[in-house]
Amino acid sequence: MDKPIYIHRFRYHFSPAKLSFWAFLSLSLFYFFFFHHSTSSPSDSSLRVLWGGAGWEYRVLRSSRPRSRAGGHIVLVTGAAGFVGTHVSAALRRRGDGVVGLDNFNDYYDASLKRGRASLLVRAGVFVVEGDINDSLLLEKLFNLVKFSHVMHLAAQAGVRYAMKNPMSYVNSNIAGFVNLLEACKTANPQPAIIWASSSSVYGLNKKIPFSEKDRTDQPSSLYAATKKAGEEIAHTYNHIYGLSITGLRFFTVYGPWGRPDMVYFFFTKNILKRKPVMIFEGPSHATVARDFTYIDDIVKGCLAALDTAKKSTGSGGKKKGAAQLRVFNLGNKSPESVGKLVSILEKLLKVKAKKIVLPMPANGDVLFTHANVSLAQRELGYKPTTNLQTGLKKFVRWYLDYYSDSGKKSAV
């Protein structure tokens, strides 16, 4: 019996060799466009960006969808693979908001820790776009693709002392990057409300204690602080000209699991465990250096409350339509502790005596003392920190020992 005609035709045009060639070609094209198509910004070839393509868009859209169609915010979190960014992204997703992360995974500190945080987020249902806030094309693409109701801007060049080593990284991320993001927000339709990370360091040489939002912030003692202060002024401008709703959060020395290895509680833990000395700074005439150390879970609650109470931006098509909300809040712990006390808590938790070296604080931009007055945040956001340093460090140490328990990761610290 003759074979049906279409089979003959099929055989005629597609010999097994030809068939595998075409199959290989189509699969390669599919793979290339769906997973690997990348676009880079022509403005700065040094930016390591990997975005674009149908697969990428699909992942962005899926991640941006709130769990329930009714209600639920749609949030772009910059710095999502950072310490605070990871915790905030996960908390937003857990409660059902749509969340798209953005992070440039730079190597300011161990990038594998950032990859670890991003893997956590993947499991939580958050896609983290690899890209830079200075990349206008990427931001335009994201805002065209997704109607973000909020931007939680946590990407920054952090750290006070590193500003003396690499000043331009602060200008690049905290000023240029912030302006670039606000430019994208102002033209987006709808304009999102913006919540962003300022810093307790804006109080600089302010002597009035506890620090209140009304106190002076015109005496920054580090370039880091100056760039955060500049951010607050820039926020004012974009609010004033374009009607963007903007909330700045002054974080006070945030610590906890998945934290930042450049911070004292983190690298002191490492040094104590390795029997290496820790340097405890002191002020003039042996003055105690202290911080209002604030636990990450309290900060996350503050961030979510700021987002939930943010009013909508008023502009559209890049034009202001009416006055918009502009706020700034302290998010601290109301309870400063000395660095010496932090070391004694760590010694007990790690069951290792620290090799302490006390020395005068170098002229490195650090301030002597921070102490937050959080009554404004308490009134407006219902913010109430509940974790003391002992309890918070216990949770940090538990995470640290677990995370670095396998030898591969240990060497990365």
What are the catalytic residues?
224
Per CB under 6 A, the list member of 78, 134, 149, 200 interacting with ligand UGA is: 200
CB contact set of 302 (below 8 Å; sequence gap of 6+): 249, 329, 331, 377, 381, 383
Per CB under 6 A, the list member of 49, 81, 158, 163 interacting with ligand UGA is: 158
Q: How far is the CB of 61 from ligand UGA (least distance, A)?
A: 33
Nearest to ligand UGA of 181, 264 (CB atom): 264
Sign of CA dihedral 140, 142, 147, 153: negative
Q: How far is the CB of 233 from ligand UGA (least distance, A)?
A: 17
Nearest to ligand UGA of 87, 320 (CB atom): 87
Under rule CB under 6 A, residue 269 binds ligand UGA: no
Q: How far is the CB of 24 from ligand UGA (least distance, A)?
A: 50
How many CB atoms neighbour CB 144 within 10 A?
10
Nearest to ligand UGA of 124, 361 (CB atom): 361
Nearest to ligand UGA of 25, 168 (CB atom): 168
Strand partners, 372: 211
Q: Are 387 and 244 in contact (CB under 8 A)?
A: no
Q: What is the DSSP string of 209-265?
A: SSB-TTS-----SSHHHHHHHHHHHHHHHHHHHH---EEEEEE-SEE-TT--TTSHH
CA distance 355 to 202: 32
Total residues found in the chain within this entry: 413
Q: What is the DSSP string of 162-184?
A: GGGT-HHHHIIIIIIIHHHHHHH
User: Considering only CA atoms, which of 147, 231, 241 is closest in space to residue 196?
Assistant: 231
Per CB under 6 A, the list member of 75, 193, 230, 264 interacting with ligand UGA is: 264
Per CB under 6 A, the list member of 199, 221, 247, 387 interacting with ligand UGA is: 199
Question: In angstroms, what is the C-alpha Rg of the chain?
Answer: 25
Instruction: Determine the interface stretch with ligand UGA among 27-35, 54-62, 120-128, 245-253 (rule: CB under 6 A).
Output: 245-253
CA distance 155 to 105: 10
Where in 65-124 is the site for ligand UGA (CB under 6 A)?
none
Nearest to ligand UGA of 99, 156 (CB atom): 156
Q: How far is the CB of 374 from ligand UGA (least distance, A)?
A: 13
Per CB under 6 A, the list member of 83, 252, 258, 400 interacting with ligand UGA is: 252
Per CB under 6 A, the list member of 289, 310, 324, 354 interacting with ligand UGA is: 289
Instruction: Determine the interface stretch with ligand UGA among 114-122, 197-205, 303-311, 387-395 (rule: CB under 6 A).
Output: 197-205
Tokens describing residue 81: 């693979």
Q: How far is the CB of 300 from ligand UGA (least distance, A)?
A: 15
CA distance 228 to 181: 15
User: Considering only CA atoms, which of 310, 393, 385 is closest in space to residue 346?
Assistant: 393
Nearest to ligand UGA of 17, 359 (CB atom): 359
CA distances from residue 187 to 29, 78, 127, 191, 230 in whole angstroms, order as listed: 34, 18, 24, 7, 22
Per CB under 6 A, the list member of 244, 280, 307, 374 interacting with ligand UGA is: 280
User: Considering only CA atoms, which of 80, 49, 44 is closest in space to residue 64?
Assistant: 80
Sign of CA dihedral 63, 33, 135, 162: positive
CA distance 295 to 391: 9
Where in 329-388 is the site for ligand UGA (CB under 6 A)?
339, 361, 366
Instruction: Determine the interface stretch with ligand UGA among 2-10, 107-115, 195-203, 379-387 (rule: CB under 6 A).
Output: 195-203
Per CB under 6 A, the list member of 114, 186, 229, 291 interacting with ligand UGA is: 291
Nearest to ligand UGA of 188, 202 (CB atom): 202
Under rule CB under 6 A, residue 326 binds ligand UGA: no
Q: How far is the CB of 361 from ligand UGA (least distance, A)?
A: 6
Under rule CB under 6 A, residue 307 binds ligand UGA: no
The residues of the shown chain that bind ligand UGA, judged by CB under 6 A, are 158-160, 199-201, 251-253, 263-264, 279-281, 289, 291, 339, 361, 366
